[in-house]
Amino acid sequence: MEEAPAWPLRCPQCSEPARLERRPNGRPAALLCHEGHRYDAAKQGHINLLTGRPSKFLEDTPAMIASREAWLETGAYAPLALALGELALRHTAATDPLVVDTGAGTGWYTRRVLDALTDAGRTPHAVDLDLSRAGAQRAARDPRVLSLVWDTWRPWPLTTGSASLLLDVFAPRNAAEFARVLRPGGVALVAVPLPGHLAQLRDDAGLLGIDEAKEERLAATLAADFDELETLDVDEWMHLTPQAAALVAHMGPAGHHRGLEQILEQLGRAGDRDVRLSVRVHAYRRR
């Protein structure tokens, strides 16, 4: 196995520099700082930094994460992953970039971007941040990824100016941490659903509508520290069985309120359907 990178970490309690301790097999063992704060890794390799005060937000449940993993492995969202990889290659010059994926879930998009950079001769590594312990456990399977359980609305456990590339795919956007953690010239790739995204499932599966002003708010949020480089639209039709449609519905916010079987029962009455994947990926450069 290749030598592990030096991770640019800081302690979530005192903000002092932190180091990653490893097991003999190279997998993470603990994160610790000189003030004596220590966070042990789970046997799967992820590290839960959310000790003490819990987050006020809901983490995606193991059942929701299982649905997300099953859905993404169908390849239906591969066009979105390809768009992210294309933009990463076009706008990231570093030979050994640090990628930070905020709201990473299972780390599926992280892995696709790392693969694209690796295929181009780079040696990337990544830090995945997500509130879901079940998601972080899956993201930790990739040895190129340091998977941390964290509330991304809090200051991130990363040093200032340490990342070359930031990914945000359908995730909350902490603009202050985007600007702090990205180095000058670093790039943020932000994937935003367009109004037609999954519209054919909205009523039957109880999905939330897409706010028409979402992109305007994104631009306003990042305007102080970022310049937009380009956008890339991903617009495809997917032919979905009721089972596949239930997975894509259950993996999102609807999964906090309805179980997979309940969603499938509702969707199964209509049979197969064509559903639109409609997403815009924005590329922003840190000033």
Spans of all domains in the chain: 9-286
* Burial of 229 per CB tally in 10 Å (0-12, 13-18, 19+): middle
Mean pLDDT of all residues in 100-111: 98
* pLDDT at 8 exceeding the cut of 80: yes
Residue 163 and residue 243 in contact, taking contact as beta carbons nearer than 8 Å = no
| Spatial CA neighbour of 80 closest among 284, 283, 285, 278 | 278
Predicted pLDDT of residue 53: 76
Residues whose CB falls within 8 Å of the CB of residue 6, separated by 6 or more in sequence, listed in order: none
3-state secondary structure of 175: helix
How many Å apart are CA 97 and CA 43, to the nearest integer? 27
- The token duo for 96 is 């050994």
Mean pLDDT of all residues in 51-56: 81
Q: Cα–Cα–Cα angle for 278, 279, 281, nearest 5°?
A: 155
How many Å apart are CA 153 and CA 135, to the nearest integer? 17
Residue 166 and residue 100 in contact, taking contact as beta carbons nearer than 8 Å = yes
Strand partners, 167: 101, 189
Q: What percent of the chain stands above pLDDT 90?
A: 90
Strand partners, 210: none
Predicted pLDDT of residue 96: 96
Taking each helix axis from N to C end, the angle separating 260-268 and 242-250, rounded to the nearest 10 degrees, works out to 140
Strands 98-102 and 125-130: what pairing?
A: parallel
Mean pLDDT of all residues in 234-255: 96
Residue 169 and residue 193 in contact, taking contact as beta carbons nearer than 8 Å = no
Torsion of CA 232, 66, 43, 171, to 10 degrees: 30
Mean pLDDT of all residues in 167-193: 97
> What pLDDT band is residue 3 in, cutting at 50, 70 and 90?
low
Q: Does domain 9-286 have CATH number 3.40.50.10330?
A: no
- The token duo for 25 is 């097999």
* pLDDT at 161 exceeding the cut of 80: yes
Predicted pLDDT of residue 51: 81
Mean pLDDT of all residues in 48-53: 86
Q: Of 60-69, 147-156, 265-274, where does mean pLDDT reach its minimum? A: 265-274
Residues whose CB falls within 8 Å of the CB of residue 119, separated by 6 or more in sequence, listed in order: none
Pinpoint the alpha helices (H) of 44-131: 62-72, 78-91, 108-119
Predicted pLDDT of residue 1: 41
Mean pLDDT of the chain: 95
| Spatial CA neighbour of 276 closest among 213, 212, 193 | 193
* Burial of 198 per CB tally in 10 Å (0-12, 13-18, 19+): buried
> What pLDDT band is residue 212 in, cutting at 50, 70 and 90?
confident
The pTM score is 0.96
* pLDDT at 58 exceeding the cut of 60: yes
